[in-house]
Structure 1
Amino acid sequence: MIQIPRGTQDILPKDSYKWQYIEDTLKNVCEKYNYQEIRTPIFESTDLFVRAVGDTTDIVNKEMYTFKDKGDRSMTLRPEGTAPVVRSYIENKMYGDPNQPIKVFYNQPMFRYERQQKGRYRQFVQFGVEAIGVEDPLIDVEILSMLMAFYESFGLKDLELHINSIGDFDSRKEYQKALQEHFRPKIDEFCDDCQSRIDTNPMRILDCKTDKNHPLMSTAPKITDYLNDESIEYYEKVKSQLDKIGIKYVEDPSLVRGLDYYTHTAFELMSTADGFGSITTLAGGGRYNGLVEMLDGPAETGIGFALSIERLLLAIEAESIEIENPHTLDLYVVTMGEESRDYASVLLSQLRQKGITADMDYKARGMRAQMRDADRKNAAYTIVIGDNELEEGKVNVKNMSTGEEVAYSFENLEEAIQ
């Protein structure tokens, strides 16, 4: 039997309404902040991710789904959303738009070949936002405000926002030197990945899951000790404004967001709900002041974040928040005989055109079985059409919650249901 690929999932009709509710809610928040949707291709040139994400990252080295197309070009199913958005920003010359910054959101499947675990899949849906074209602490605060608004709009309370500053490129360069000096004497005790990163991107060592308990991890230098005056001023403005608008946060000097393009503000949102699991991160992001130039664009800056819909669902479940199924069936038509089935088919077509959700039995089952089916489908009303009803031109409309029945002519049935 052909089965679903490992690391993927079917979202069945009994659950799809939850996804629709979540996506609609997130989009409504974006509208309040004046962010508009962008849609990029599901695959891009492999070089885009190698250059943007960094050739020292696990995403590029281990997790990408890469293939050759018929033109012998290397293509990759997108593993993340920021690089494609920036590519589109450059290619479509959005930097020339008088409305700056360019504020967009996306809601798209991503692909990473990683070990499947609770809330993590090889195909997952990422909802993200990007604001490109302005370097201002206030836009950083807007992004953080939107992140919190996303989760609070579902009633989630067990949340903890962690923030840090990676500083500008000069600060980051000095910090990387300090990390190299710290780790190099005992780098042979670390995994192969860390040993290769000591010269290329030592900040990635701090993200290592294999060596996270090594004694040198807890004594590693903190980025905040290497911030220059400009970076400190930027960071203090972000924190001051967060305080003014009442957003609580935890300063986390160990939070570095190791992707090559991050600068200044970095952040992650954690779930503190009991039973959520060992991996508590719900969303993460930060400012990227060199990414646009890295991809041959102008000297523009940006900031954004991304969240996993799958992990958001886990957080909602962990806090015992119910999402009601909005789907309702206004009318179920019970039929008795072939002539009544033919008539019901026409009647349903007419009612649906008037905006009434209606259904009938298509398996020619008995009356009791049809009534049970109507009950399972949570029909608000039912009618029974048989020879007598067809002859008299009227039916009894039954309220399924009260059991009350009222007779109506077929001509007045739409009005009755409305």
Structure 2
Amino acid sequence: MSKTPQAIRGTQDIFGPEAEAFAHVVETFERVRRLYRFRRIEMPVFEKTEVFARSLGETTDVVSKEMYSFDDRGGESLTLRPEFTAGIARAYLTNGWRQYAPLKVATHGPLFRYERPQKGRYRQFHQLDAEVIGAAEPQADVELLAMADQLLKELGIADGVTLQLNTLGDGDSREAWRAALVDYFAAHRAELSEDSQDRLERNPLRILDSKDPRDRAFVADAPKIDDYLSGEAQDFFGAVTAGLDAAGVAWTREPSLVRGLDYYRHTAFEFVTDRLGAQGTVIGGGRYDGLMESLGGPATPAVGWAAGIERLAMLVGERGDPVADVVVVVEDDAQIARGVEAVTALRREGFSAELVASGSPRKRFDKAVKMGAGAIASISTAEGAAKISVRAEDALAARIESLLL
């Protein structure tokens, strides 16, 4: 006897209250992105591997350890997308989307990374994503952050979530800071963790967000970006923080918040909470003005963020199955066709409706009552014809009766 197939480790089947919470996050995101006039896009689930290798860097952990890559029948290397931004940048360059700049786009869907599954983290996971491409002004950063802040508030989970903000400066500021970090950490190389010793040569900024106690001992005294900011970079960050204050978005400065890839500039941010254990970031992003050039395109300013749907849904909490507006009860099998007609008419007028027409006719009404709907329309037979009665508040009952009688 064959065994029942099991789910792949690190994936999940979502059902019931968890699925309702997941759907609530997506529906709220769709509503908010329309308020901010972000255009909806759909992206391929897989891309040429070079799209991610060139954008994320061949030596990053994502590319070297976490991507699901495979050769198709033609021998071309393809990769299941580990994130959205690189694919969106590729589409922007190859589809002529530059004519719409500044372009505000949003999407959501599954992503894939081969990593150790843990609370709120899976090998197939889902993200929301919002990007502004072709806008160099700090107002674009402010709008994206205000949008993320409003999303959290409309989901009812803003309490206990903090916006941490930092600047990485412009290109010259970042390079000067990077060189100072290399000099500083090189003097302590032997005492750093193995990962940070490796990062020292190729990604020294990442040492700043290391959680290893051996590294933390030196991070506090490491050079600070503020000592290397150009006047232009200071003005840019000042405009972002002033815009957030004007929009009523609370924020805190987090000098150790960094982005290791060289194409990141200026604003870096994370919305964090202590309600999800070690994996506390629920929304993260920043300005990546150098990405398009790394993909062979012209210099193009851009800023964006991504949010894990599973993590947001965990904060939302389980949501019960939605209650129908109206339950239509067929108490006489001779009236089943009339019941189908009634429930169809209700749905076409925007009511969520459920039909109860199976099981013991005597118990159908009791079953409908237990479903907790706002209204019950029962259909029986009187004098050879269908008889419809509605139990609901007066105004609602009158509207339903006008549709069904």
Cα deviations by residue, 1:316-358 (Å, 9 ceiling, x for unpaired): 33xxxx8675551513323455x45566456655665565554
SS at match of 1:153: helix
Comparing 26-35 with 374-383, which one deviates more in the overlay? 374-383
User: Equivalent residues in 2 for 1:186-205 (5 A)?
Assistant: 186-205=188-207
Between Structure 1 and Structure 2, how many residues are aligned? 398
The alpha-carbon deviation at position 129 of structure 1 amounts to 0.9
Residue 164 of structure 1 corresponds to which residue in structure 2? 166
Question: Aligned partners of 2:252 and 2:13: how far apart in 1?
Answer: 37
Residue 305 of structure 1 corresponds to which residue in structure 2? 305
Name the aligned partner's letter for residue 305 of structure 2.
Answer: F
The alpha-carbon deviation at position 193 of structure 1 amounts to 3.2
The alpha-carbon deviation at position 249 of structure 1 amounts to 1.4
Match of 2:389 among 367, 391, 397: 397
Residue 83 of structure 1 corresponds to which residue in structure 2? 86
Comparing 111-120 with 236-245, which one deviates more in the overlay? 236-245
Name the aligned partner's letter for residue 360 of structure 2.
Answer: G
Question: Aligned partners of 2:338 and 2:137: how far apart in 1?
Answer: 66
Question: Aligned partners of 1:313 and 1:376: how far apart in 2?
Answer: 28
Matched, 1:104 2:105: yes
Question: Aligned partners of 2:346 and 2:257: how far apart in 1?
Answer: 58
Match of 2:265 among 258, 263, 266: 263
Question: Aligned partners of 2:244 and 2:338: how far apart in 1?
Answer: 64
User: Equivalent residues in 2 for 1:316-335 (5 A)?
Assistant: 316-317=316-317, 326-335=322-331
Question: Aligned partners of 1:140 and 1:351: how far apart in 2?
Answer: 44
Question: Aligned partners of 1:215 and 1:92: how far apart in 2?
Answer: 48
Question: Aligned partners of 2:151 and 2:400: how far apart in 1?
Answer: 43
The answer on whether the counterparts of 1:271 and 1:315 sit within 8 Å (CA) in structure 2 is: no
Give unpaired runs (5+ residues) of structure 1.
none
The alpha-carbon deviation at position 384 of structure 1 amounts to 4.9
Question: Aligned partners of 1:2 and 1:297: how far apart in 2?
Answer: 46
Match of 2:253 among 247, 251, 254: 251
Name the aligned partner's letter for residue 249 of structure 1.
Answer: W
The alpha-carbon deviation at position 239 of structure 1 amounts to 2.0
Q: 1:229 to 1:212 in 2, by over 3 A?
A: farther
Comparing 7-16 with 370-379, which one deviates more in the overlay? 370-379
The alpha-carbon deviation at position 258 of structure 1 amounts to 2.1
Residue 126 of structure 1 corresponds to which residue in structure 2? 127
Residue 64 of structure 1 corresponds to which residue in structure 2? 67
Question: Aligned partners of 1:161 and 1:359: how far apart in 2?
Answer: 43
The answer on whether the counterparts of 2:196 and 2:215 sit within 8 Å (CA) in structure 1 is: no
Task: Tell me the TM-score normalized by structure 1.
Answer: 0.85
SS at match of 1:381: strand
Matched, 1:95 2:98: yes
State, as a whole percentage, how many aligned pairs show the same letter: 38
SS at match of 2:226: helix
User: Equivalent residues in 2 for 1:203-352 (5 A)?
Assistant: 203-210=205-212, 214-271=216-273, 275-317=275-317, 326-336=322-332, 339-341=334-336, 344-345=339-340, 348=343
The alpha-carbon deviation at position 188 of structure 1 amounts to 4.0
Residue 11 of structure 1 corresponds to which residue in structure 2? 14
Residue 146 of structure 1 corresponds to which residue in structure 2? 147
The answer on whether the counterparts of 1:113 and 1:122 sit within 8 Å (CA) in structure 2 is: yes
The alpha-carbon deviation at position 244 of structure 1 amounts to 3.2
Name the aligned partner's letter for residue 142 of structure 1.
Answer: E
RMSD: 2.9
Give unpaired runs (5+ residues) of structure 2.
none
The alpha-carbon deviation at position 266 of structure 1 amounts to 0.7
SS at match of 2:143: helix
The alpha-carbon deviation at position 80 of structure 1 amounts to 0.8
The answer on whether the counterparts of 1:45 and 1:76 sit within 8 Å (CA) in structure 2 is: yes
Question: Aligned partners of 2:178 and 2:146: how far apart in 1?
Answer: 30
The alpha-carbon deviation at position 158 of structure 1 amounts to 2.2
Q: 1:74 to 1:336 in 2, by over 3 A?
A: same
The alpha-carbon deviation at position 313 of structure 1 amounts to 1.9
Name the aligned partner's letter for residue 177 of structure 2.
Answer: Y
Question: Aligned partners of 1:78 and 1:400: how far apart in 2?
Answer: 50
Name the aligned partner's letter for residue 377 of structure 1.
Answer: M
Name the aligned partner's letter for residue 57 of structure 1.
Answer: T
The answer on whether the counterparts of 1:56 and 1:201 sit within 8 Å (CA) in structure 2 is: no
Question: Aligned partners of 1:246 and 1:350: how far apart in 2?
Answer: 45
SS at match of 2:131: strand
The alpha-carbon deviation at position 127 of structure 1 amounts to 0.8
Question: Aligned partners of 1:198 and 1:243: how far apart in 2?
Answer: 36
Residue 367 of structure 2 corresponds to which residue in structure 1? 373
Question: Aligned partners of 1:400 and 1:11: how far apart in 2?
Answer: 34
Cα deviations by residue, 1:125-148 (Å, 9 ceiling, x for unpaired): 111111111211222222222221
Q: 1:230 to 1:353 in 2, by over 3 A?
A: closer
The alpha-carbon deviation at position 5 of structure 1 amounts to 1.8
The alpha-carbon deviation at position 14 of structure 1 amounts to 3.9
Task: Tell me the TM-score normalized by structure 2.
Answer: 0.87
Q: 1:291 to 1:355 in 2, by over 3 A?
A: closer
